[in-house]
Chains A and B, each alone.
Chain A
Amino acid sequence: MSAVRVPPPPGPPLPFSLPRFEGTVLPSGLAVRAARWGSRPTVAAAIVFPGAGSTADPPDRDGTADVTGDTFLGGTRTKTARQLAEALDDLAAVADVSAGTDSTVARLYVLESDLDAGLALFAEILTEATFPEEEFDKGRRRLIAALKEQRSEPDFLARERLYDRLYPGHPYGTVSPTEKGLLTLTRDDVAEFARRRLSFAGATLVLAGAADPGALLAAATRAFGGLPATSGEPGFTVPPPPRVEGFSIHLVNRPGSVQTNLLFARPAIARRSPRFPAAVVANQSLGGGASSRLFHVLREERALTYGAYSSLATRVLAGHFGASIDCRTEVTAEALGGLLDLIRAFAADGPAAEEHERAKNYLLGSFPIPRETPSGVVQDELTRLLHGLPEDEFTTWRDRIRAVTREEARDAAAELFDPATGIVAAVGDAGKIRPILEARGETTLWDADGPRA
């Protein structure tokens, strides 16, 4: 048989449908949604508390949401921290409570055969946590110690400076609590935050697994159904961040760096916007992957980097477009110039026809890949609930991607990607790269400990 010499065409497309979630609302106000998904006997579950993220930190109490999430496993009315840890591990279950900017999410992974025991433990953690003083102190000391170690990582320093300048004075501008903030917090702040913000009124428990959705709902009702009605303060209490204006560069000095880590970001678009799909298609052409323009030119043609990418980040109250490249110190000028020039050209002209088609095909075809597992479809549902997206957001997502025209992608790029506005955060050896950055725009020097140098 002779070799096939041309790329073979795809066969007829095979249908892929997302599962249908069934739901109920428990007396506590907790909504429950469950779907059958996957073939292995394991269940992914998560509760989202919208609004209970760092945006809900009380005034002068930065880090409250973070530390609250971290302290949930500190003990319950009937179990010490160690007993709780052992009870989870006896089930080979994984439980975690963590705060982001816009929400706190509690997650549980458990074998289907242990679903009742796992959910009972999950409910105990979320409703009977006592936040013992000793465990609170330990958790806080661990976070303070970790801060020092984090400052040795270039990625952390770049993100810290980028967000601080992109969202100045807003909770979105903080990627990690400060030592000073942590030292101000008390155990009572944490218990109070849990009581007020992590209320089941407004929260949703999402479950997916190979089991029947009715069985998942019944198990959730057995674990959470006996709780009384709760009241709390769900929702968002801070205003959206102001939009950053102008263009500026922020250099974090990290002596001895052999690379410069470069991040760019500028305000873009909210997840709820009807133009979000057009922005996603445009971003895919520019920098979404290895076949996109940034990677192709900056790595494959010019050998400046291991990888160059762009992305859209969405918060509930804002969204931004970002791009990144890491390069050896010696080619910092070429890498930053190349990155910004490519973004500028794309914002001006939009994608070529072939780039646009490829981006859409990629987004359409790869849609099932992150949704192979129960946790993948749970994540979709959490995103939908957090951003207040309609019930059919993900079932109609591919139709909306398919409908994006090249003109719409170009318009989105022109409005949302233009690097005339935005922030560059650079982490590297300032002694070698400061003049290079100053040649590209107004540059402020910072040291790795945070303050302006």
Chain B
Amino acid sequence: MPGGPISFELEIPAHVERLANGLTVVVSPQRGIPLVTVDVTYDVGSRVELPGKTGFAHLFEHLMFEGSENVGKGEHFRLVASAGGTMNGTTSEDRTNYYETLPAECLDLGLFLEADRMRALVLTQEKLDNQREAVKEEKRLRIDNQPYAPSFETADALAYDAFAYKHSVIGSMDDLGAASLDDARRFYETYYAPGNALLAIAGDVEPAEAFRRARAFFDDVPARGKPAPFAVVEPPPTAERRAEVPDPHAAVPALHLNFKVADRRHPDLFALSYAEKVLGAGESGRLWRRLVKDDELALSLTVALDERRGPSLFRFFAIARPGVAPERLEAEILADVTRLAAEGPTPREMERVRRVITAGAIRATQTTQAVAFLLSEYGVYDGDPNLWRRDLDEVLSVEAEHVRDAVQRWLVAARRSVVTVRPAEAA
């Protein structure tokens, strides 16, 4: 067998404590480089937004950088930079996180900043108005002014029925415009409680000392109620859905072909991660090789398993070569899906994907930030940061028959939504 058997060691220690106020603290010592990443992940994402309030979770993320009781406006950025650190926040459908990567001797600063904004964020109308404009610019920059970007919103809206995943993280201009200071206060009270958050400390730290410091900064953050559990539930699939998007910025047509599949960590999703790579990964992924390289039908093709806490999406996105109709791309993609459903992957493809998954896990855990993100996600979603390692072993034990069966079960017409994007004249 090319490549030979895989043997690898990949252990990432994760120690867990729960503070009296409900905050979960995870410490992962990563020795070698004197850096530490402090990450606070809140169990709130755009999925909790209601109609008329879209984009709010992300807008609120911006407000978290605008100052708290002991940190003035603009001071967060200055304090982190002065310490030689980097920082940011990100909002997804399923969670929001905030992080600093700092010289290890500046761990206290990261803890101070995160504790202060968890305990006593200062919200004002002026800050809200200022960040509302910054977020609107972000939406124009990343979505409204880019080719194809708006069509991803259409594709999600078409694929999902539940509002949670039907709308985009960035939200609508109207809803951003209507967001009020009262909304922000309520959101903070509801979702930014220590019991709804996880603090991860990954890097050049000694666990007992790191826990001691975490308690010193977070113990006096008052406990607040935890929001009710939230789940995204979709009705049973019935029929294929289709939509067309005229795109004034696109030069050539494109195609989204999505299948609504199971929640993350469902055993069939482990199997579908093989289908994703057999079709689209590396230089030899079947469909990518054929459409992009050999048959010259697509400029680019992305095959991605978009894993979510609720129903996930198995996505295909292809940009056509000039002169190729999106209908042709659709037929070609479906032909390969049908073949995979009938025959499953070859033994060589299975070995190749196992190796790709192994190498991916090794390469994706080389930095303190990546480790903090990985442990936080499992800690918040599943209550156990160490679960990722068991999942990795489970993924690596998937057999070809399971991949074939999962493709047969999930990549079917009733679960399919298709969006064709066609160039349109600018207004």
Instruction: Report A's interface with B, CB cutoff 8 A.
Output: 1-16, 38-42, 73, 81-82, 84-92, 94, 109, 111, 113-114, 117, 138, 141-142, 145-146, 148-149, 151-154, 255-259, 261, 289-291, 295-296, 299-301, 303-306, 326-328, 357-359, 361-369, 371-374
Which residues, 112 to 170 on B, are CB-close (under 8 Å) to A?
Answer: 112-113, 115-116, 119, 129-130, 133-138, 140-141, 144-147
In the complex, the answer to whether A13 meets B103 with C-beta atoms within 8 Å is yes
B70: CB under 8 A from chain A? yes
B39-78 vs A, CB cutoff 8 Å, 1 = contact: the mask equals 0000000000000000000000000000000110110011
B178: CB under 8 A from chain A? no
Contact of A89 among B83, B86, B135, B283 (CB under 8 A): B283
In the complex, the answer to whether A81 meets B293 with C-beta atoms within 8 Å is yes
B228: CB under 8 A from chain A? no
Beta-carbon nearest neighbor of B427 in chain A: A256
In the complex, the answer to whether B146 meets A362 with C-beta atoms within 8 Å is no
B33: CB under 8 A from chain A? yes
B188: CB under 8 A from chain A? no
A4-B217, A306-B137 known; A10+B358 contact, CB < 8 A: no
Shortest distance in angstroms between A252's beta carbon and chain B's nearest beta carbon?
13
Shortest distance in angstroms between A323's beta carbon and chain B's nearest beta carbon?
16
Cα separation A364 to B148 with both chains bound (whole Å): 40
Cα separation A299 to B73 with both chains bound (whole Å): 13
B7: CB under 8 A from chain A? yes
Cα separation A256 to B249 with both chains bound (whole Å): 8
Cα separation A146 to B319 with both chains bound (whole Å): 10
Beta-carbon nearest neighbor of B363 in chain A: A42
Which residues of the partner chain B approach A8 to less than 8 Å between Cβ atoms? Answer: 108-109, 112
B8: CB under 8 A from chain A? yes
Contact of A152 among B108, B216, B249 (CB under 8 A): B249
A303-B130, A368-B103, A369-B35 known; A152+B147 contact, CB < 8 A: yes
Q: Beyond the given A4-B70, A88-B283, A92-B358, please list 15 additional residue pairs across the A-B interface where CB-CB is below 8 A.
A: A3-B115, A15-B34, A16-B33, A38-B32, A42-B359, A42-B366, A86-B283, A94-B282, A146-B299, A290-B81, A291-B82, A295-B77, A362-B82, A368-B34, A371-B33
A4-B216, A365-B103 known; A153+B147 contact, CB < 8 A: yes
In the complex, the answer to whether B3 meets A91 with C-beta atoms within 8 Å is yes
In the complex, the answer to whether B8 meets A113 with C-beta atoms within 8 Å is yes
B383: CB under 8 A from chain A? no
Which residues, 333 to 367 on B, are CB-close (under 8 Å) to A?
Answer: 348, 351-352, 355-356, 358-360, 362-363, 365-367
Identify 14 residue pairs between A and B in the complex whose beta-carbon atoms are under 8 Å apart, listed by A's number.
Answer: A3-B116, A6-B70, A7-B109, A88-B282, A92-B359, A148-B322, A149-B251, A149-B319, A154-B146, A261-B145, A289-B81, A306-B137, A362-B81, A365-B84
In the complex, the answer to whether B351 meets A256 with C-beta atoms within 8 Å is no
In the complex, the answer to whether A16 meets B34 with C-beta atoms within 8 Å is yes
Beta-carbon nearest neighbor of A109 in chain B: B363
B252: CB under 8 A from chain A? yes
Q: Which of B106, B248, B250, B289 has the most CB of A within 10 A?
A: B106
Shortest distance in angstroms between B349's beta carbon and chain A's nearest beta carbon?
9
B276: CB under 8 A from chain A? no
A152-B249, A326-B141 known; A365+B106 contact, CB < 8 A: yes
Q: Which of B3, B146, B322, B426 has the most CB of A within 10 A?
A: B3
In the complex, the answer to whether A328 meets B140 with C-beta atoms within 8 Å is yes
B249-263 vs A, CB cutoff 8 Å, 1 = contact: the mask equals 111100000000000
Shortest distance in angstroms between B257's beta carbon and chain A's nearest beta carbon?
19
A366-B86, A373-B367 known; A40+B352 contact, CB < 8 A: no
Which residues of the partner chain A approach B35 to less than 8 Å between Cβ atoms? Answer: 368-369, 372
Which residues of the partner chain A approach B83 to less than 8 Å between Cβ atoms? Answer: 10, 361, 365
Contact of A257 among B145, B252, B296, B362 (CB under 8 A): B145
Cα separation A379 to B113 with both chains bound (whole Å): 32
In the complex, the answer to whether B366 meets A89 with C-beta atoms within 8 Å is no
Contact of A138 among B6, B135, B138, B296 (CB under 8 A): B296
